[in-house]
Amino acid sequence: MASVTYPQTFETPATPTTLKLAKREQAMIGAHIIAALVALMFGIFMGPFQTFHRSPTFVQYFPTIPVFTFYYQAVTAHGVMNALFFTTFFIIGFCYFVVERSLQRPIKSTPMGWAAFASMALGLVFMLFVLLTMPQQSAVLYTFYPPMIAPALFYIGLVLLALGSWLASANIFLTYRDWKREHPNERVPLAVFAILVNFIVWCVATIGVALEIVFMLLPASLGILRVTDPQLARTLFWFFGHPLVYFWLLPAYVSWYTMLPRQAGGKLFSEPLARVAFIMFVVFSVPVGVHHQFSDPGISASSKGIQTLLTLIVSIPSFMTAFNVGAALENAARNRGAKTLFDWPFKQKWNDPVVAAQLSGMLLFIAGGFSGLINASAQLNATIHNTSWVPAHFHQTLGGGVTLTYIGILYWLLPAIRGRALFSKKAALAQVFTWLIGMTLFGLAMGEAGLQGVPRRALTSQAPYLTPAGAFWMDVTAVSGVILLISSILLYVNIIGTLFFSRQPMPAADVPIETVSGDRTSPLWFERWGIWLGILGILLLISYGPVIAEVLDFQEGWNILRFMPTSNAPMP
Amino acid sequence: MEINKLERYWLIAVGITLGAFTAATILAVTVFGIRLPAPVERIDPQRLEQTIFANPGVRKIADNRYEAVIVARSWAFDAGPEAGNPAVLRFPRGSQVTFYVTSKDVMHGFQIEKHTLNLELVPGQIARATANFNRPGTYHIICNHYCGAGHQVMYGVIIVE
């Protein structure tokens, strides 16, 4: 299995060295990153054209907008490609890299790694095929609520993606188990600790959507089932849908906690605090999905109240992160000569695209975090539920904090995979700042429009109810779309340039991988995963038990199949 | 494990922030009586003619109190033949209206402009909510949940006189 021999000792982090990837590593991780970039390409360029389509002024002057004609096809492709395929491929590739380098051993099984990749890649091909060839039937958006049913290939693509991701998770868990056997009394490096948390959350959360797809949507799409229960399907979807955002976020946190401090020239404030934050994510990130369903008729107000409180708790680890990473950045700036109370944000390496991307991502993420607290408050939610406030929120978090951090990672990982320098550092910096400006403007305009009552996911330029204020903010989002289009083009110019045209060898760079075991002050029982899974199980029973009972409407008897014929809905 | 002094201060600040949000939530429910949609009854969306949705429309139940029964379908809010399409509902100023809404096909949304009334319409479920109309004006009922190619033209109008 281990055709690669890893050196006994890796270079200490303090001495910058050129990272040489083993051939096997290069192929495996490179394949995931390239597949992620292919998915992102189909997703990312849809975004700006959607903003043009929604803007009444833009549509008036440019009645034919290129690239696509059916608006909701683009919304679906944008969501499915960016949120499901790009993230999953990128996260798995990046996590393999961190686990291998951090634990100084290859992942458990290379054939299993390639089988996982093949499954996900086939899923990507199926999904692209169905999205591009069947624009109307496949436009069910990335939340695919029944009774709207897509062609079977849509669901098969998703199933293959999930299967592959489970295999990849198993590979990572087994690699950790082998390492742990050899190092029984050592703390696993923080980065791997966080990655284990991430894949635990992912494996628990995907159970919900897997049940929904395998037992409800796919049989309905194939014509085997004539009925679905939309309320149950929505509940299963959001069981998965909210933890999904932590699956995106935690790899970004891996970078912020274990890489950015060194990239910025400082050190992390507290490692045990970081581990506490990650443990809180295992326990609290799954039982909160109902906060997406505050307006659903089939769930009681008391269940919604419990989930509001749990959602507020899950913001605590993010507050801890703000403190811990903020202190690391302050430390970095003090090392660079910052003296006064407030000059440290300005004394960061804003001219280094790797750092600038992550810092810009954080700025957006702070705004997104606070708008998220508003969403999570059950009563405030009624004013903004399903309005364009919601996409404003998740573009600040996912499109800002997460994606910009991934791009920051990409700016060192892609050269490391290719063995060549980044094509253009200036283009990378221009990309980061146009993204920051564009996304800030987008978030502001969509948020304001949402407060004016503009709905999300609607072709507003054709909507008879659009008010002048709503129209104005939709026009502003089109401006942000232009800026983000420029940023996206710069991103892909740099990616293609780095892959094919960069002639410079990779500079001696500090690839920020932590190989030493954790801080001695963090307790070893933090790694007793059974405890955390047990607590999670109990919390899931408390938070989801009553919800599932309400949704299935158990009062009229406990026959679990009863819901199927009586609460059905016709397939359109 | 030691907890640093700054860490402790920060955790206290976070606790206060979240405590405030929690208190606001509890106050909203207990003191201000803001209610979220809750289960009413399950129905078969293919047999709406056997339910209250057989005859959609507005009914006066007391002084200034109304009941509006509305069926959402792709792509209209059906509030009876009198209301027309797009449905136009008229209420005098100061009315309190309880809406009973359901969907007969896919998921729809029911959001009243400049109100906090915002419902997911799930086939098989009755959504119920009450709104007060104290200021005269024209308010749109917007479908804010994607329901197919004509989603953007699905709306209704409430006129408060």
Average pLDDT over residues A349-364: 96
Interchain pair A377, B126: CB under 8 A: no
Q: Angle between the A230-258 and A353-376 helix axes, to the nearest 10 degrees?
A: 140
Model confidence band, residue B44 (pLDDT cutoffs 50, 70, 90): confident
Q: What is the pLDDT of residue A512?
A: 73
Strand pairing partners for B108?
Answer: B121
Average pLDDT over residues A169-183: 96
A295, A385 in Cβ contact below 8 A?
yes
Q: Regarding predicted confidence, which is higher, A3 or A482? A: A482
A249, A401 in Cβ contact below 8 A?
yes
| Helices marked H in A419-528 | 425-451, 468-496
Strand pairing partners for B100?
Answer: B69, B128
> Rounded to an integer, what is the distance from CA A223 to the centroid of its chain?
33
Interchain pair A231, B124: CB under 8 A: yes
Give the whole-angstrom CA distance, residue A537 versus residue A192. Answer: 23
B16 touches chain A (CB under 8 A): no
Q: What is the pLDDT of residue A572?
A: 43
> Rounded to an integer, what is the distance from CA A513 to the centroid of its chain?
21
B69, B57 in Cβ contact below 8 A?
yes
Number of helical H runs and strand E runs in chain B: 1, 10
Average pLDDT over residues A46-69: 88
Residue A343, SS3?
coil
Q: What is the pLDDT of residue A508?
A: 60
Rg from Cα positions in chain A: 23
Q: What is the pLDDT of residue A516?
A: 64
Mean pLDDT of all residues belonging to chain A: 89
Q: What is the pLDDT of residues A189-215, one digit of tens each?
A: 999 999 999 999 999 999 999 999 998
Question: B19 to chain A: which residues are within 8 Å by CB?
Answer: none
Largest CA distance in chain A: 71
B8 touches chain A (CB under 8 A): no
- The structure tokens 């819901």 sit at A563
Give the whole-angstrom CA distance, residue A229 versus residue B107. Answer: 11
Which tokens belong to A232?
Answer: 């149950």
A112: amino acid identity, one letter = M
A546 touches chain B (CB under 8 A): no
Range from A18-27, A207-216, A326-335, B108-117 carrying the lowest mean pLDDT: A18-27
Which tokens belong to A381?
Answer: 């939610």
Per DSSP bridges, beta strands B108-112 and B127-133 are unpaired
Cβ–Cβ pairs < 8 A, chains A and B: 194
Average pLDDT over residues A442-461: 95
Count of C-beta atoms within a 10 Å radius of residue B59: 12
Q: What is the pLDDT of residue A562?
A: 41
A457 φ/ψ sector (left φ>0, alpha ψ -120 to 50, else beta)? left
Give the whole-angstrom CA distance, residue A409 versus residue A403. Answer: 10
Q: What is the pLDDT of residue B2?
A: 64
Average pLDDT over residues A79-96: 97
Range from A5-14, A216-225, A293-302, A414-423 carrying the lowest mean pLDDT: A5-14
Which tokens belong to A234?
Answer: 């929505």
DSSP code string of A256-309: HHHTHHHHHT---S-HHHHHHHHHHHHHHSSTTGGGG-TT-TTS-HHHHHHHHH
Q: Is the pLDDT of residue A164 over 90?
A: yes
Q: What is the pLDDT of residue A11?
A: 36
Q: What is the pLDDT of residues A387-435, one digit of tens each?
A: 999 999 999 999 999 999 999 999 999 998 888 899 999 999 999 999 9
> Rounded to an integer, what is the distance from CA A564 to the centroid of its chain?
33
DSSP code string of A532-557: HHHHHHHHHHHHHHHHHHHHHTGGG-
Per DSSP bridges, beta strands B57-62 and B65-73 are antiparallel
B108, B99 in Cβ contact below 8 A?
no
Q: Which of B2, B18, B149 sits opposite A315 (nearest CB)?
A: B18
Active site residues of A: 242, 246, 393-395, 456-457
ipTM value, please give it: 0.92
- Nearest-Cα residue of chain A relative to residue B146: A457
Sign (positive/negative) of CA torsion A564, A288, B111, A397?
negative
> Rounded to an integer, what is the distance from CA A63 to the centroid of its chain?
34
Question: A459 to chain B: which residues are within 8 Å by CB?
Answer: 151-152
Q: What is the pLDDT of residues B87-127, one digit of tens each?
A: 999 999 999 999 999 998 899 999 999 888 999 999 889 99
Query: A349: exposed, middle or buried (C-beta count within 10 Å: 0-12, 13-18, 19+)?
Result: middle
Q: Which of B1, B74, B122 sits opposite A234 (nearest CB)?
A: B122
Model confidence band, residue A454 (pLDDT cutoffs 50, 70, 90): very high
Give the whole-angstrom CA distance, residue B93 versus residue B70. Answer: 21
A55, A61, A64, A70: CA torsion to nearest 10: 10
Q: Is the pLDDT of residue A129 over 50?
A: yes
Choose among A391, A336, A324, A390: nearest CA to A362: A324
Which tokens belong to A169?
Answer: 């998770």
Interchain pair B46, A75: CB under 8 A: no
Question: A312 to chain B: which residues are within 8 Å by CB?
Answer: 18, 21-22
Give the side-chain half-sphere CA count within 13 A for A154.
Answer: 31
Q: What is the pLDDT of residue A524?
A: 86
Average pLDDT over residues A232-252: 95
